[in-house]
Amino acid sequence: MPPRPPIVDALIIGGGPAGLAASLAFARTRTTAIVFDSQSYRNEGITHMHTVPSRDHVNPYEFRSIAREQITSRYRSVWFEQVTITQAMKKLLGKEKYDGFEVTDSEGRSYQGKKLILATGSRDVFPTIAGFKENWPQHIYQCLACDGFEQQGTPIGVLDCSPKTAHFVNMALNFDSRVTILTNGPVPGYPAIKQQLRICEAWGAKVDSRRIRRLINNGPTHEEGVTVEFEEGETLTLGFIAHKSATVNRSQDLIDQLGVECVDPGLGGHIKILNPMFNTTSVIGCFAGGDTMQAMKQATVSMADGLKAAAGAAMEIAAERESATWKMLEEQNINATKNASFPEGHGAAAMLSSGDSKAVN
């Protein structure tokens, strides 16, 4: 690899699908970028990824490894750093005082770039149920399109009691007719929730409103499954449980340091995008891609968002260069016009020195 410039075109925080797609865009256009990969991912423990063309049922670690190898073996303008970024800030860079960014890793090393792409992902917030973490992600899945197919043919639990319950149940019924809704306590009296449950019962789903004491992992596959132990009554053994956990931004500290605006927590709390064509944020020069800015958190969507963020950063850099060049040409034209107005030896300075102030007034 050639020497890395002190100021690169883009700093990309995150080495998942969004960050990798963004970095590939910079590699293809021979512009410079650094990708910071903390090696911490939302799908930790998942052995297969799905709904990704050409990579269906592939281990996500293999996917990331292939993507990085394709970039580093073929291109020479993108660098990878396996570090955790702990600080991010706006900063005037270089002699030109470019309005760029500086980030610092956990070891105190600093990196500078003209643009910043946040592809830091999100983190699931688990419910306070004993055994939930021990069954995630082996027997508890938040996306049935991603993981339901491999678990078909066994009873399914839907741990949900909300206006989206019917959506989950509708998908679950594609994989087995034995679906039980686990409300984990009395059903709230909201009409929308009651309507959802009535629809699900009409489809053949059962509703179990007992409180859950704990979840027991019976083994590695859906054939052993997970046993639900309630505060009262008999246990229930299922092949797997569908549950949509709340999520938070994995690097909310960096988002706060930069002053990047987010949507309301009730709407997901992810980064607010001002221009969805290029994934611009509320901070000029800062872009976002992937789960950290998207309610629909899915690998293929994240890759598209990473590409849009890279395109937005490149467009800004090109526009800035265009503007700076035009300003330089205008200044050159003004100077040339001034020089042409005064023949050699008869310029303004010569006239002033000869006392002919009238000629320049």
pLDDT tens digits along 91-143? 999 999 999 999 999 999 999 999 999 999 999 999 999 999 999 999 999 99
Q: Within a domain: residue 162?
A: yes
**Count of structural domains, the chain:** 2
| 258 and 314 part of one domain | yes
Q: Within a domain: residue 333?
A: no
| 169 and 72 part of one domain | no
Q: Within a domain: residue 62?
A: yes
What are the tokens at 166? 């019917």
pLDDT at 344: 55
Mean pLDDT of all residues belonging to the chain:
93
Q: Within a domain: residue 328?
A: no
pLDDT for residue 167 is more than 90: yes
| 262 and 120 part of one domain | yes
Q: Within a domain: residue 349?
A: no
Q: Within a domain: residue 229?
A: yes
| Count of residues making up the chain | 361
| 307 and 198 part of one domain | no
User: Which 3 state secondary structure label does DSSP give 247?
Assistant: strand
pLDDT at 356: 45
- CATH number reported for the structural domain that contains residue 149 in this entry: 3.50.50.60
pLDDT at 170: 97
Pairing status of strand 206-208 against strand 212-217: unpaired
Closest Cα to residue 248, out of 267, 268, 266?
268
User: Which 3 state secondary structure label does DSSP give 58?
Assistant: strand
Q: Within a domain: residue 341?
A: no
| 218 and 110 part of one domain | no
Residue pair 205/180 in contact (Cβ under 8 Å)? The answer is yes
Closest Cα to residue 214, out of 224, 229, 198, 193?
229
> Which H/E stretch holds residue 68?
helix 60-74
| 107 and 135 part of one domain | no
The rounded distance, in Å, linking the Cα atoms of 140 and 43 is: 12
| 316 and 258 part of one domain | yes
Model-level pTM? 0.90
Residue 158 makes CB contacts below 8 A (sequence gap 6+) with 165, 168, 169, 172, 179, 180, 181, 182, 205, 241, 242, 243
pLDDT in tens, 201-220: 999 999 999 999 999 999 99
Q: Which of 244, 271, 297 is the last residue of a domain?
A: 244
Domain span including residue 152: 130-244
pLDDT at 336: 85
| 104 and 89 part of one domain | yes
